[in-house]
């Protein structure tokens, strides 16, 4: 049919030149041609390898020498967000052996995204610094707040150094002798014991 069309056009004084062979149908291309992926195609044969829609002059992606429309390429090959399972098209956070949209990588407890402090992990879940320490850090025997740095271990508890004080007079008990009363340190003065009484023991 194409051969007779070409001869009919020649009779009319219109010259046609073959622009190659379509790699999809293996027939000569006369008229519009698409050159992509190092091959030539009839426009109607340059289609997405997954959905078969014509790609024409639209953006397309190549994978293993095959063309894909943009939506199919992302759905098939882009990394998936661990939170929403959607394809990640732009910026990507990789953490905890998973990928995330930046807006979907947030604290499991409060839902805030992570700033310069980064995140802490517990049982494969990300937490901001404050929630991590509030939920999982040991609590001070004096103020019951999380211990995040240095601590004193005494009376079967851990203490912020500034919280390890006499229960009654609030003087520091660091590097001093004390008595244990209801699991709290009490200095000798508040116990009514003088230094001379201690020396006699």
The tens digit of pLDDT for each residue in 8-58 reads 555 666 655 667 889 889 888 888 888 889 898 899 999 999 999 999 878
Collapsing DSSP states into helix, strand and coil, what is residue 3?
A: helix
Contacts (Cβ under 8 Å, ≥6 apart) of 163? 140, 141, 142, 143
Taking alpha carbons only, the member of 150, 194, 154, 188 closest to residue 169 is 188
**pTM assigned to the model:** 0.57
Label residue 190 by pLDDT band (50, 70, 90). confident
Summarised one tens digit per residue, pLDDT across range 139-177 is 998 898 888 888 888 898 999 999 999 989 998 888 888
Cα–Cα–Cα angle for 133, 140, 163, rounded to 5 degrees: 125
């Amino acid at each position: 049919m194409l051969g007779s069309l070409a001869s009919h056009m020649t009779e009319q004084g219109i010259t046609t030149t073959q622009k190659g062979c379509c790699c999809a149908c293996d027939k000569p291309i006369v008229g519009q041609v698409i050159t992509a992926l190092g091959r030539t195609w009839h426009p109607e044969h340059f289609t997405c390898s997954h959905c078969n829609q014509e790609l024409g002059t639209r953006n397309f992606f190549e994978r293993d020498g095959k063309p894909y429309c943009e939506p199919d390429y992302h759905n098939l090959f882009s990394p998936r967000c661990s939170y929403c399972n959607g394809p990640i098209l732009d910026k990507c956070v990789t953490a905890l052996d998973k990928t995330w949209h930046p807006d979907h990588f947030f604290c499991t407890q409060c839902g805030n995204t992570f700033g310069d402090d980064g995140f802490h992990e517990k049982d494969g879940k990300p937490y901001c610094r404050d929630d991590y320490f509030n939920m999982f850090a040991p609590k001070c025997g004096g103020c019951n707040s999380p211990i995040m740095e240095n601590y004193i271990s005494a009376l079967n508890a851990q203490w912020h150094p500034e919280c390890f004080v006499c229960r009654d007079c609030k003087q520091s008990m660091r590097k001093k002798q004390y008595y244990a009363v209801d699991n709290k340190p009490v200095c000798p003065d508040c116990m009514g014991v003088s230094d001379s009484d201690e020396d006699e023991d």
